[in-house]
Amino acid sequence: MTSEPATRTPTEREPASIDTSGQAFWQSALRWESGLVVVLAATLIFGSVRSSAFLNTSTLFYVGLNMGEIAIMALPLMLIVITGEIDLSVASMLGLSGAVMGQLHADGWPIALAMVAALVVGVLGGALNGVLVARLGLPSIAVTIGTLTLFRGLAEIILGARTITDFPASLTNIGVVPVPGTELSYSTVIFVVLAVAGPGAPSWRSGWRRRRRSSPGSGSTGSSSACSCCPACCARSPGSCSR
């Protein structure tokens, strides 16, 4: 009787798993955003050591008062930068929207309609940027440099050297007083609401992931610039509605 030799299949060794958790931690820690957090913490510590009145509610209010409208404009601009584009005309769009609102109010328009008109101007300016970049394929930096000059020139034509300040006191107080019961400025609260309910919403995030090619100011930046130029901003800094 002959027996066939038994064939033995060599067992394959599974590659040893490599623990990359530590490497991922250091990669996250060395990001520039982490550096900003460190700088912010160092600034707060230094300020509190130098002055006992640094970390108080009044400081929080005035920081929000000074930075609120800028933060509102920067929020949609963040989405544009994430997609690799840029919009340099945001501040000029703010000035043009404010000039239109101030001029219409001076001409006798109700303040509510004047604010709606400012929003429409912001949307149209953002749409202009969006068409030139997304439809015609022009570089966003070149387009928004051009519209920066355009919007600023239109604002100068509308107002010139005049300053319009006769807005309703019920609205101008928003720019100089905190939200009742808090030490937060109205612009800070508006920014937080927009950050949570706007770009932070899942629908926004999923939509911006799918659209890798976007346009700077396809309505969002322009309209937010118009929103941020309200009588409150003009009340805190009257010259802001003159340019």
**Using one digit for the tens of pLDDT, what is the confidence trace for 126-173?**
999 999 999 999 999 999 999 999 999 999 999 888 888 888 888 888
Measured from the Cβ of residue 192, the count of other Cβ atoms closer than 10 Å reads 14
How much of the chain exceeds pLDDT 90, in percent? 33
Contact 123, 223 (CB under 8 A): yes
Per-residue pLDDT, averaged over 81-87, amounts to 90
What pLDDT band is residue 99 in, cutting at 50, 70 and 90? very high
Q: How far apart are CA 188 and CA 178, in angstroms?
A: 10
Q: How far apart are CA 3 and CA 118, in angstroms?
A: 95
Tokens 């020139």 correspond to 153
Q: What is the pLDDT of residues 43-74, one digit of tens each?
A: 989 988 998 888 888 888 888 888 888 889 88
DSSP output for 34-69: HHHHHHHHHHHHHHHHH-TTSSSHHHHHHHHHHHHH
- At 34, the amino acid letter reads S
Q: What CA dihedral angle connects 226, 231, 232 and 238, to 10 degrees?
A: 100
- At 75, the amino acid letter reads L
Is residue 79 over pLDDT 90? no
Closest alpha carbon to 231 in 142, 144, 168, 148: 168
Q: How far apart are CA 135 and CA 220, in angstroms?
A: 17
